[in-house]
A and B are shown apart, each in its own frame.
Chain A
Amino acid sequence: MQSSVGVCSSSSSNWLFRFSAAAAPLLPSSLTFPISKSSSSSLITLSTPSLISSPLRSTASASAADSSHLTEMASNDAQDPRLPRISSAIRVIPDFPKPGIMFQDITTLLLDTKAFKDTIDLFVERYRDQNISVVAGVEARGFIFGPPIALAIGAKFVPMRKPNKLPGEVISEEYSLEYGTDKMEMHVGAVQAGDRALVIDDLIATGGTLCAAIKLLERVGAQVVECACVIELPELKGREKLTGKPLFVLVKGA
């Protein structure tokens, strides 16, 4: 889910020219995306939590404390060197799906093999020693990032789907959209009480989708350790909707 933020960046429809005019046309198969911090980039990167000594908390913590912690990190100049390339590889498409929305398109990240691998590695490094038994990925872009993470950390992958897609018995959670509601479903029996879970999606906007996923997991007795997204749109305050669960993101849309 996306909403209106930020300043319109450079031309959107031709992804070769996603960056400022100073960038020469890219060979599409090239991995040499410019690492651009120009004003045309609407993404700023966070330093990664691997730089902090404090481990993940295993109990729910106040999101205010967490977000102030991350804000401190953002002002810390020491930044994981993989993040600028990841940020630059994300394409911004203005006015999709409707006027005023700056859509953060991760498909270009998937075309940059190094940046995609680095994205997965950053999550795997964070979670591999946290005894995570379930990675829950939200349809459909959560299906792209979740399974590689699950495979690398030895966890199950559980798809959280739109209604009527999962064939077996499901539990459902309704959540709000800008207009109306939608439903998210999870298979009965996929997750057990006591499972330690992550929720993965490409982006957090209002937090409604992630909140529904957290509720489904908690209804079956799982412990949601953290939510993890590639991108956060902080102006939409989705972080506050996560019922106290921590949120980890790689880049922020400003």
Chain B
Amino acid sequence: MFAEENGLKGDPRLQAISQAVRVVPNFPKQGIMFQDITTLLLDHKAFKDTVDIFVDRYRDMHISVVAGVEARGFLFGPSIALGIGAKFVPLRKPRKLPGEVISEKYSLEYGNDCLELHVGAVQPGERAIVIDDLVATGGTLSAAIRLLERSGAEVVECACVIGVPDVKGHCRLIGKPLYVLVEPRQVDKCSRCEVDSSFG
């Protein structure tokens, strides 16, 4: 569900967050309009508002685990975890985590990838949220959910800054509620780009 439909209708923070994301056409390949959140991180107010919106949502939901997907989930997850008093758990690409791990494969457009979670990081019965910068197909989030559930946690919701409007489809795919702040933009009306031409 979008933040706007869920209590934040007309919230001016959402428009500023949307405009702080830069669209980079044809990255990593032709036809993809890449939603670049690095410009959001340069806008202190918009970045802080992003974290605050998630913290306000989850603070009273008794969440004890915030799981962030490598690497852009690491940019948002720890601040949210600190804000709600939860642990932060990184979900990583293979062979990055040094201790004993559990692994979950997931499909890419071409081929597979894999996410890992440290054994012992999450306990049965813990209430968890999964954070990433963007949800596209939902494949990564699905793998994240499976890892947490294999550890016995209850995944309460997945939260992303950006998501396509096919929200019902996503919920079916990942089987969990999904909370998204803004839609992807097609053209570059990035507020930072208007200010700084070197950022074209």
Contacts and interface: CB of A to CB of B under 8 A. Distances in A.
Tell me the dominant secondary structure on chain A's binding face: mixed
B154 to A, nearest CB: 14
Interface stretch (A32-40, A105-113, A175-183): A105-113
Size bracket of the B interface: 35 or more
Interface of B: 22, 24, 27-28, 34, 36, 38, 41-44, 47-48, 51, 64, 70-71, 74-76, 78-79, 81-82, 85-90, 92, 95-100, 118-121, 123, 126, 196, 198-200
Interface of A: 12-16, 28-29, 91, 93, 96-97, 103, 105, 107, 110-113, 116-117, 120, 139-141, 143-145, 147-148, 150-151, 154-159, 161, 164-169, 187-190
A16 B123 CA distance: 12
B74 A151 contact: no
27 contacts: A13-B100, A14-B100, A15-B118, A28-B121, A29-B64, A97-B95, A105-B99, A110-B78, A110-B89, A111-B88, A140-B92, A141-B74, A144-B78, A144-B88, A148-B78, A151-B48, A151-B51, A157-B41, A157-B42, A157-B47, A158-B38, A165-B71, A167-B27, A168-B36, A168-B38, A168-B199, A189-B196
Shortest Cβ-Cβ A-B pairs, 4 listed: A189-B199, A143-B74, A167-B24, A167-B27
Most buried by A among B48, B98, B120, B121: B98
A101 to B, nearest CB: 9
B59 to A, nearest CB: 14
Contact of A28 (B44, B90, B123): B123
Nearest to A188: B198
A105 B41 contact: no
Given A97-B98, A151-B51, A168-B24, 13 more contacts: A29-B126, A105-B98, A107-B118, A147-B78, A148-B79, A151-B79, A156-B44, A157-B41, A165-B71, A167-B24, A167-B27, A167-B28, A187-B199
Given A28-B123, A97-B95, A168-B24, A147 B85 contact: no
